Structure 1
Amino acid sequence: MSSSPSTPLLDAGVINRCRHRVRLEHDPEAVRPEVPADPAAEQRRADRAAHLATVLGVLSERFGTQLAEGGPDGTLDALREGASLISGAVLPADRDAGRRGSVPLLIRTGEGYLPVLIAHHRITDPGEGARTAPLTSPWYRCAGTDPNRKARAHSGDQLRLAHAWRLLEPTGYAAPGRARGGVIGLDADVVLWHDLEAATWPGGHTALAEYDTRFADRLAIATGSRDTAPSRIMACRRCPWWSQCSERLTEQRDVSLVTSGNDADQLRAAGVSTIDELAATEYTARIEGFTGQLREAIALARAWLADATVIRKVGEVLVPRADVEVDVDMESFGDAGAYLWGCLLTGEPIGMEPGYHPFVTWDPLPSGDEGRSFVEFWAWFSEVRTRCTELGLSFRAYCYNERAENRWLLSSPERFPDVAGMPSQAQVRRFIESDQWVDLYACVSEQFLCARGKGLKVVAPVAGFSWRDPEAGGENSMRWYREAVGYGGGDTHPDQRDRILRYNEDDVRATQALREWMSKEANGLPHLDEL
């Protein structure tokens, strides 16, 4: 698509952005929303900026990285001079393609350059097969197959690299050969190199081809030649336009309010556009391309109309119980580590103090003291299990959505193997694969339909539980943690430490309350067949 003088120039951010949001952002008649400051979002931006500055500082000290001052002209000057590493590159806008953007780092290879991102997230996992080069020798020629790492599935990184590559090509300084790009992640010890022309995407597509398709679509939307309509998706939670879209969707009683984005599209294609139409659909109906359970989607629509937050989809609600029970909730700080393991011990007496037990480090993460706090948690936890065995009592532990807890349960032995008392990863794995470890989120998902979402903050109030802190939530706890430990060199705030502990205690008491309710009152909820 050829552009005109009025064609907007789009940056890499549009590629993963909601299509309707792109339209609103480029519609001169759209009323821009007034969004209050989001401390969590501002902090994420500050963290990304600090990480970028740190990595570029290390590279500059080691290799004399050339800063591309002066925008596109400065970047072109650095490219002409043949600098080995160019930081802060602002590539010339490609007005014919409607494209603009920048890239944190350009690395010279042979007769040209490759783009490199500096990301504030982890880019690899334990495994093998990733193509990496050490940060001490970041060049592509130094990259090889890593026997200890596998690449994480960050599709957004590859699409951003494809955007940078398409901007680099018209300058004449793109490295000859296949399109490639690198990413330096949170650990900042390697460059993970991606082949953007490898057929590793669904359907045998390449990252470059996927990017080209998405960019052409977003450009058509931004120029007004392709229309869109709002539809609720995961990204709506943080979108500044959500208040406007939400109002419109609610007025229209749109099906996306009770189904996932793709399934909502399939329903509309089949002529089912509203919650009322979905609720009136027979349970035996079939919708081509619908990936979820249509019967459950119909029941959710009926629950929404009945203003029922939770309904049963089983005849009898069951939850595994034991003589002695421990509720577990972990608090982490992004990818930096897990600083708090909160446990609630209830049930038959075993000679250990019942109630809430926090195992915490207040050293700013990442810190080796995280290993010490984990060992203390595991030792206490193991003692509870041992005493239950000795006394002939059954034992179970509970969490809400085990993915987060399991991640840090399994990674702690790997990251802190030399801390005295650290269990082996095999020991931890045996526990989480046993019937002693119960994910209440899975229990809820299997037995209930939740018209307003399945998060603990949504479901536990149905069981009569409430948090003491009116601002209780994961995003806010991140901010409290920063203040609690004086992250980034600031003053520490002991009151925020107390606040975090209260919040964590309420989380484990919430899962206990939910479990008790599921064992008793939950069977009084309406069944989906009754709606």
Structure 2
Amino acid sequence: MGSAILGARNLTGCEHRLALDFAPRDQVAGGPETAEANRRIEAAQAHRREVLELIGRLQSGRPAGTVTMVDEADHRSRVAATTAAMDAGAEWILQATLPTDVEHGRRGHAEALVRVGNGYLPIIVVNHRVTTAVAEPREGQPQVQTSPLFGWHPEPDRTRAFRSQRRDVMRLSQLAAMLDALGRLHAPRAESVGGLIGLDADCIVAVPLGEVADEYDETLVRRRAIAAGEVVTEPRRVSECRSCHWWPRCEAELIAKRDVSLVVGGNQGQVLREIGVTSIDQLAEYRGAPPADWAGAVRFTDTVVSAKSWVRDIPLVRRRDRPRVQRADVEVDVDMESFSERGAYMWGTLLTDNTDATRPVVYRPFVTWQPLPSRDEGRSFAAFWAWLMTERNAAHGAGKSFAAYCYSQHAENRWLRGSADRFADLPGIPSRRVVDTFIASAEWVDVFEAVGDNFVCPKGKGLKRIAPVAGFNWRDDEAGGEASMEWYAAAVGLDGAPRDESQRERLLQYNEDDVRATKVLREWISSDEVLSLPLADDLLAENAVGVSETDSTGIVAR
């Protein structure tokens, strides 16, 4: 086994990224971390500082020595301070750094170690939500235990469900294994537990670690072998690629060999590789029935169509002779802007009255520029909701049909519901029941779903991918989700960042372009222009692959 020392980050995610991260620098060259990755790191660090300050305040009345804050500048000093605090029996050790375990090739730090019995239990702080509120536990749902922040007192919690993420569990497992090797773990490793504090920072979730100890051990061995160059990896396109600093290098390799992962992701790509289909060209020429063990949300025939489109540089392929999307007399396009898990700071709207050509199509944003989280978010949401319902009721009163549109309702629905829940005590906030009724109605239309229903999209279904096919382009060349996060942080001076109010206009323009792109796209779907795109059935007929009959979408895989 090589001498690589792995942190918890190295235990999950893309194996090829790990190999590149540990390869000799004279053999590989990658770009800097993406702005999105740096933003997430900075946001996580700020959240951890806030939580540790909170824990410190909760312990402020305790005797001296109860809480030790490790704030030494260098690693060796932090390790020494952590070890000394454990030797002294400190009840809480904040910002703890454990001695590097050279024998097993691992290093680790915990936001907190809390003394339980004669040992210590690791606690980590993460910048995402780790529980979901539940009204009534579902049958078979694992029992969650939570503890208050002021001490380790875990009790069954029927109000929450655990939102487990593998990277959190692996990090806690690494810390538990390291404490166990030092003889400092609070319990036998098979019975050990870790603590997890999430974005809401309202409790500590107890995470059982004994049941994943074997998986952790196996993962560490394999990952160390990869880092040492003893296991060969190859690039594959996965979701992680979007924020990876190695992606330009990997993308160039994948395009050069026309790798099938460019059009097929996840387990489906593995199924294809197992039957010898490794390139886009092979998939484009595939004949016969789909692989026997094909499974997942993407139909096999769609992957063949995507491959053919990639080879021929076709941006979209029709599923139907005549694509369709719901239309109405009065149409409102909606786009929400949020910042991480902190909240939704903007609701942008664009109203079109198709029955009155004299009524201008006007962009209206409802926004707060108070740094999130902020109660002012509730005020801006209430204003947005009042305006939307006023226009809806006016349309109904005039005998006109009404529809509101968004692109990928998952995000909008999350913050519609979340805003109703979090700001229920503010004036003008709709009840959760009212919001849910609107979301379930035919008047709330997801254009993203309409795109998937009408087209095969070889290069993805994101609005930035699809709207240009319909003739729309953003005014700002840098417009995008990652960039908007940077603009927002500057616009409000988030977490001490220098405030640049000029970025507010940039965000408003970006949001306006998003709602206008949604409008242009759905109108294009209803137009005759869309009929110039090829039909999926025609492309599949060239191979006679998987087509024995057609359903409402025009394609069926056997």
TM-score (norm 2): 0.88
Cα 1:255–1:39 shift into 2, 3 Å? closer
Q: For residue 273 of structure 1, what is the amino acid of its counterpart?
A: T
> How far did residue 393 of structure 1 move?
0.9
Counterpart in 2 of 1:450?
457
Cα 1:65–1:143 shift into 2, 3 Å? same
Counterpart in 2 of 1:202?
none
- Does residue 77 of the first structure (1) align with residue 73 of the second (2)? no
Query: Which range moves more in the overlay, 221-230 or 105-114?
Result: 221-230
> How far did residue 444 of structure 1 move?
1.0
- Does residue 475 of the first structure (1) align with residue 482 of the second (2)? yes
> How far did residue 89 of structure 1 move?
1.8
Q: Give the alignment partner of residue 15 of structure 1, picking from 8, 11, 14.
A: 11
- SS of the residue corresponding to residue 99 of structure 1 reads coil
Q: For residue 228 of structure 2, what is the amino acid of its counterpart?
A: T
> How far did residue 303 of structure 1 move?
0.5
Deviations 1:396-420 (A, max 9, x none): 1110110100001011121111111
> How far did residue 33 of structure 1 move?
2.2
> How far did residue 490 of structure 1 move?
4.9
Work out the CA distance in 1 between the residues paired with 2:5 and 2:344: 41
Counterpart in 1 of 2:196?
183
Counterpart in 1 of 2:285?
280
Work out the CA distance in 1 between the residues paired with 2:287 and 2:16: 31
- SS of the residue corresponding to residue 183 of structure 1 reads strand
Report if the CA contact (8 A) 2:9-2:167 is conserved: no
Cα 1:352–1:180 shift into 2, 3 Å? farther
Counterpart in 2 of 1:200?
none
- Does residue 193 of the first structure (1) align with residue 206 of the second (2)? yes
Query: Which range moves more in the overlay, 397-406 or 247-256?
Result: 247-256
Q: For residue 96 of structure 1, what is the amino acid of its counterpart?
A: E
Counterpart in 2 of 1:413?
420
TM-score (norm 1): 0.92
Work out the CA distance in 2 between the residues paired with 1:267 and 1:51: 42
Q: Give the alignment partner of residue 145 of structure 2, picking from 105, 108, 131.
A: 131
Report if the CA contact (8 A) 2:145-2:157 is conserved: yes
> How far did residue 511 of structure 1 move?
0.4
Cα 1:211–1:503 shift into 2, 3 Å? same
- SS of the residue corresponding to residue 337 of structure 2 reads strand
- SS of the residue corresponding to residue 467 of structure 2 reads helix
- SS of the residue corresponding to residue 488 of structure 1 reads helix
Cα 1:34–1:249 shift into 2, 3 Å? closer
- SS of the residue corresponding to residue 107 of structure 2 reads strand
Could you list the runs of 5+ residues in structure 2 that have no partner in the other structure?
60-65, 138-142, 540-558
Cα 1:98–1:486 shift into 2, 3 Å? closer
Q: Give the alignment partner of residue 221 of structure 1, picking from 223, 226, 233.
A: 226
> How far did residue 171 of structure 1 move?
0.6
Identical counterparts, % of pairs: 43
Counterpart in 2 of 1:335?
341
Report if the CA contact (8 A) 2:173-2:213 is conserved: yes
- Does residue 323 of the first structure (1) align with residue 323 of the second (2)? no
Report if the CA contact (8 A) 1:311-1:449 is conserved: yes
Q: Give the alignment partner of residue 100 of structure 1, picking from 100, 107, 112.
A: 107
Report if the CA contact (8 A) 1:283-1:294 is conserved: no
Query: Which range moves more in the overlay, 519-528 or 404-413?
Result: 519-528
- SS of the residue corresponding to residue 230 of structure 1 reads coil
Work out the CA distance in 2 between the residues paired with 1:349 and 1:482: 41
Q: For residue 145 of structure 2, what is the amino acid of its counterpart?
A: R
Number of aligned positions between the proteins:
516
Counterpart in 1 of 2:366?
359
Counterpart in 2 of 1:113?
120
Cα 1:365–1:260 shift into 2, 3 Å? same
Counterpart in 2 of 1:149?
160
Q: For residue 155 of structure 1, what is the amino acid of its counterpart?
A: R
Work out the CA distance in 1 between the residues paired with 2:361 and 2:23: 59
Q: Give the alignment partner of residue 519 of structure 1, picking from 479, 502, 526.
A: 526
Q: For residue 531 of structure 2, what is the amino acid of its counterpart?
A: N
Work out the CA distance in 1 between the residues paired with 2:489 and 2:229: 43
* Shift >6 Å, 4+ stretches: 350-353
Report if the CA contact (8 A) 1:283-1:295 is conserved: no
- Does residue 170 of the first structure (1) align with residue 177 of the second (2)? no
Deviations 1:379-401 (A, max 9, x none): 11111111111111111111011
> How far did residue 207 of structure 1 move?
3.4
- SS of the residue corresponding to residue 357 of structure 1 reads strand
Counterpart in 2 of 1:51?
47
Report if the CA contact (8 A) 2:407-2:447 is conserved: yes
Work out the CA distance in 2 between the residues paired with 1:476 and 1:9: 33
Counterpart in 2 of 1:484?
491
Report if the CA contact (8 A) 2:330-2:395 is conserved: yes
> How far did residue 360 of structure 1 move?
0.8
> How far did residue 253 of structure 1 move?
0.9
Counterpart in 1 of 2:544?
none
> How far did residue 138 of structure 1 move?
3.0
Report if the CA contact (8 A) 2:325-2:526 is conserved: yes
Q: Give the alignment partner of residue 68 of structure 2, picking from 63, 66, 73.
A: 66
Report if the CA contact (8 A) 1:138-1:191 is conserved: no
- SS of the residue corresponding to residue 505 of structure 1 reads helix
- Does residue 209 of the first structure (1) align with residue 214 of the second (2)? yes
Counterpart in 1 of 2:316?
310
